[in-house]
Each structure stands twice: as structure tokens, then as C-alpha cells.
Amino acid sequence: MWYKNEGENPDWIKLAQDKGYASWADWRLNEHVKRFDCVNKQWALYETSNPSQVVVKWSGGPFSTWVERYYDGQQSRKFSELAQREDIQSINKIKRLIGDYPKDSVITAIEKEGGEMIVIEGMHRCCALALMAQRDLPFSDKLIFAIGK
């Protein structure tokens, strides 16, 4: 699913190479699959017709760039909190997603003990959804979440 969303996107390929990885797949394997123990999770797909109301309750993953720039040093932040930030609101990629959300995409999250949901793929899309919720903008389609427990 990640590959469908990012694998051939030149921006993501460049980011992986800038981080010293040979490919996008090598980066995702080492930085996400291993880090979040994805292989040992029980995965299921969930569909919702109101994704913006779902993701505002979820938290972003502990990614170094997000921690440094948007989490004020914390390991995660709820998307409802991120949507309040002017620096998040001004990101062009997020602004574009609000106007043209890729409805066939899948957002990937893991459920921690205690039920906390952490997004590990789809950060910008979740920020766009949270901003849509904040602004009472409709999401006119269903969205799929891949959730590992």
C-alpha cells in the first residue's frame, strides 16, 4: 500500500536518497517496517465515510522531522493539535490535499496498547483531513485505513 502512495513519487525517492538509502523501498523497510515491528502486527483494512472526524483523534508518528518542526520536542501530537498550527496550515502539499484529496489512498496506522492510534504513513494527508474537520469542509467519499494491532 505504501508503494502505491509513494513508491514512484520523485519527491519520496529523493527524500530516501537524501537520507542515504539506495531506494524508497530500502528506506521504508529500515525506517518504518522494522522500527514499528510491522511484520508482527495483525493487519486489517477499515473503511470510514467520515475520515476527518476519525483522524483528529489520532496522533502522528514519531518521525524526527515532525518531532523537531511540529511536535515541540514531544514524540507525537494529535492531528487536532497539528491543525491549529500556522506552519502546518501553510504547507503547500497539505493545502493541495485539502482541495484535491486522493480518495483512493490508504492511511496506515498502528494501535498501541491502550488504544492510541499512531499514523505511520499518511502524515500530510491526515493533517489535511484534520484541517478539513476544523474548517467544516466535507469529505464526500469513503477512505480506507490499514491498521496494525
Percent pLDDT > 90 in the chain is: 62
**Domain extent at residue 121:** 40-148
Inform me whether the pLDDT recorded for 105 exceeds 90.
Answer: no
Q: How remote is the C-alpha of 125 from its chain's centroid?
A: 6
77 and 13 within one domain? no
User: 32 pLDDT band (50/70/90 cuts)?
Assistant: confident
List the grid coordinates of 121. 504513513
78 and 26 within one domain? no
List the grid coordinates of 97. 490535499
Inform me whether the pLDDT recorded for 3 exceeds 60.
Answer: no
Split into its structural domains, the chain has a count of 2
Q: According to the model, what pLDDT value does residue 98 have?
A: 94
Q: How far apart are CA 53 and CA 48, in angstroms?
A: 10
Read off the pLDDT of residues 53-69 as tens digits, 9 standing for 90 and up: 999 999 999 998 899 99
